[in-house]
Amino acid sequence: MCGRFWNIQFPFLHSRFKTNWYSIMKPISIFNFHGMPSQIFEPLVSLSLLRIHLQRSSFCSAAAMEWRIGLNIPSANQLINAFSSYCYQRDLDKAMKALDFMQKHRIWADSVTYAELIKCCIARGAIIQGKQVHQHVFSNGYEPKTFLINTLVNMYVKFNMLDEAQALFDQMPERNVVSWTTMIAAYSNSEFSQKALEMLIQMLRDGVRPNMYTYSSVLRACKGSCNLAQVHCSIIKVGLESDVFVRSALIDIYSKWGELQAALCVFNEMVTGDLVVWNSIIGGFAQNSDGDEALNLFKRMKSFGFCADQSTLTSVLRACTSLALLELGRQVHVHVIKFDQDLVLNNALLDMYCKCGSLHDANCTFNRMVEKDVISWSTMIIGFAQNGYSRKALELFKAMRVSGTKPNYITILGVMFACSHAGLVEDGQYYFRSMKKLFGIDPGREHYGCMVDLLGRAGKLEEAMKLIHEMDCEPDAVIWRTLLGACGVHRNMDLAECAAKQILKLDPDDAGTYILLSNIYANSQRWKDVAQVRGSMRDGGIKKEPGCSWIEINKQIHAFILGDKSHPQIDEISSKLNQVIWRLKEMGYVPDTNFVLQDLEGEQSESSLLYHSEKLAIMFGMVSLPKKKTIRIRKNLRICGDCHVFAKLLAKMENRCIVIRDPIRYHHFHDGACSCGDYW
């Protein structure tokens, strides 16, 4: 019992509810209504019976007992006190029974107690009870304080009942900064984020000064740099730019809009920050694929004495994922153990192992996870599919369905990716045709893209083209590029020209399209057309992105670019490469100069082919790592056919695994074969 509630805090209760025999008698009928057996009302009921009922029965029956046996006479104060006690104990059922009693007898508690009850309703998702509290505090002319109405508005927001929240907000006789901020936060988190910005303007017009709570909420509603700049100016004007909540929200929103330099400026102005501000800036860089900077900031954070929490580690893992830093990722895993039950962190760990090509570690992590959600399952399915284990991906999808986890848009995309990369045309078509019926998911542009890939790879180019024309939405450059790639494989010149035309309409500077088209012409000996494509590229100043490969050795990342001889060990690497090629040629390796044509910027000779960046990176792995250690490479462009053959033969000759991650998928080379089954 909370002593302070023994004092009547609302003097008007005396006038509304007089504690006399008449008023005490009234509850008796209520108690009977609640089902008390009539014999309980006999005056000679024993104390032990009372104890039993106090333990088993509701507040109302206990209060009735107390009154009947004359041990205690419940006054309005006592009833309010009991109600408060139930509210603070979060005993919702008893509190609601007491509330019902109070409602019938026009008794009101204080705002703080109702706020506690509302918190309890929110925590339990008890909408009906929450509405009863709302009705009670507005009944019989009672005028709740602004504080209490704010709490009710917040309750509707938490129940995702924005219309009810807005209606109550509109009825408020006066609104303070909390009232406005509650609604602004609600709209910022909703699909009506523009409304949050409109409310900020209305609030200022009403003469209510926004505070740090308001700004940290409204920032999330900013769409684009224009809104953001205006809100940022407003923050500076009211002198709130140094608040850590506002600062982290600013960093976060600038990062979300890709304005990392602006985010960094906000961060660098900080004199005393907290862990969340550090997490905001690290997360910002990690999410914008700048893993290097994210890791640098993480090092700085540690030098300032901050300890990483689950959010920090999640971003650090994401940085490792984008850079394919398996060894560093493994070190982070040691710290993840501290937060073993954190689902989001475990999902990030799982993704790191998948994207770093270590499926064994990924599978162990997945199997150890106590809690799995749709992201965990999707990550593992996509991980299997991208690493060339399509059958395992489909088996896991079946297990997911058995587990009862509902697949979503991305899960189905992963399943279709598995089908397209394993040539499982019938399975892919089945999932595509039945996804709406089986899972309630409408096929989106990406699903169509997977189907075009599936049909195109299988040589069903006309069917792929037909599907593009059947799409509900406009096909984008990615879909046309997929078709163009398939036309290259199956040498369909007419369709290739049509697809290339569509891509260049949508993305006129796409170097990849010019190169693909040029290769298709070259493979058919159409040299005039090859020259025309190259001329267009030259005239348009369009340059191919240079091929680059990265390898992690002793926590250092080494980058290799075709023709770049700046690496300090380049002589050793070149010498090793020449030895290896000589030995491979003895095994029957013949450089496939068809692929020289892909490299329009480089020398068109066998030597340029032999110095493709992944070959250099593999050689550096060979001279730097222990003999049996897997060599893991990440590269920015798709692997060419010659490097693919080279890696397969080398893996067999050296009896070691080589893993190459390209922008689309992974190649695990082992014993003369690749996990992609030469189908990529």
115 binds DNA, rule: CB under 7 A: yes
Beta strand segments in 393-494, E: none
Evaluate whether 284 touches 319 at the Cβ level (below 8 Å).
Answer: no
CA distance 517 to 514: 5
Return the residue of 362, 413, 633, 660 that touches DNA, per CB under 7 A.
413
Nearer to DNA, 211 or 630 (CB): 211
By 3-state DSSP, what share of the chain in percent is helix, strand and coil, each rounded to 5? 65, 5, 30
453 binds DNA, rule: CB under 7 A: no
529 binds DNA, rule: CB under 7 A: no
Give the N- to C-terminal CA distance of the chain in Å, as an integer: 71
Strand partners, 659: 632, 668
Nearer to DNA, 310 or 519 (CB): 310
State the DSSP code for 637.
Answer: S
CA distance 569 to 292: 23
Contacts of 409 (CB under 8 A, 6+ apart): 441, 444
Nearer to DNA, 302 or 585 (CB): 302
Return the residue of 77, 227, 311, 613 that touches DNA, per CB under 7 A.
311
Return the residue of 27, 74, 130, 283 that touches DNA, per CB under 7 A.
283
CA distance 336 to 313: 7
CB of 279 to DNA, least distance (A): 3
242 binds DNA, rule: CB under 7 A: no
Nearer to DNA, 67 or 353 (CB): 353
| Binders of DNA in range 12-31 (CB under 7 A) | none
Helix (H) / strand (E) containing 548: strand 548-553
658 binds DNA, rule: CB under 7 A: no
State the DSSP code for 221.
Answer: G
Nearer to DNA, 65 or 319 (CB): 319
Contact segment (CB under 7 A) with DNA among 72-80, 294-302, 412-420, 641-649 equals 412-420
Helix (H) / strand (E) containing 659: strand 658-661
Please give the backbone phi and psi of residue 626, each rounded to the nearest 5 degrees, phi first. -60, 155
Nearer to DNA, 338 or 538 (CB): 338
Return the residue of 57, 248, 363, 513 that touches DNA, per CB under 7 A.
248
Strand partners, 666: 661
161 binds DNA, rule: CB under 7 A: no
347 binds DNA, rule: CB under 7 A: yes
Evaluate whether 199 touches 205 at the Cβ level (below 8 Å).
Answer: no
Evaluate whether 129 touches 92 at the Cβ level (below 8 Å).
Answer: yes
446 binds DNA, rule: CB under 7 A: yes
6 binds DNA, rule: CB under 7 A: no
Return the residue of 196, 246, 464, 633 that touches DNA, per CB under 7 A.
246
Evaluate whether 336 touches 300 at the Cβ level (below 8 Å).
Answer: no
326 binds DNA, rule: CB under 7 A: no
Nearer to DNA, 270 or 559 (CB): 270
Q: Tell me the pairing of strands 631-635 and 658-661.
A: parallel
Contact segment (CB under 7 A) with DNA among 181-189, 362-370, 562-570, 601-609 equals 181-189
Contact segment (CB under 7 A) with DNA among 14-22, 194-202, 344-352, 495-503 equals 344-352
Contact segment (CB under 7 A) with DNA among 180-188, 222-230, 360-368, 459-467 equals 180-188
Strand partners, 667: 660
252 binds DNA, rule: CB under 7 A: yes
Q: Applying CB under 7 A, what is the total number of residues that bind DNA?
A: 70
CB of 34 to DNA, least distance (A): 31
How many alpha carbons fall within 13 Å on the CB side of residue 258?
2
Q: How far is the CA of 46 from the CAs of 49, 70, 71, 464, 551, in angstroms?
A: 5, 11, 11, 85, 83
390 binds DNA, rule: CB under 7 A: no
Q: Tell me the pairing of strands 548-553 and 631-635.
A: antiparallel
Please give the residue ranges that form the binding site for DNA (CB under 7 A).
Answer: 112, 115, 146-147, 150-151, 154, 176-178, 181-182, 185, 211-214, 216-217, 220, 243-249, 252, 273-277, 279-280, 283, 286-287, 309-312, 314-315, 318, 321, 342-345, 347-348, 351, 355, 373-376, 378-379, 382, 408-411, 413-414, 417, 444, 446
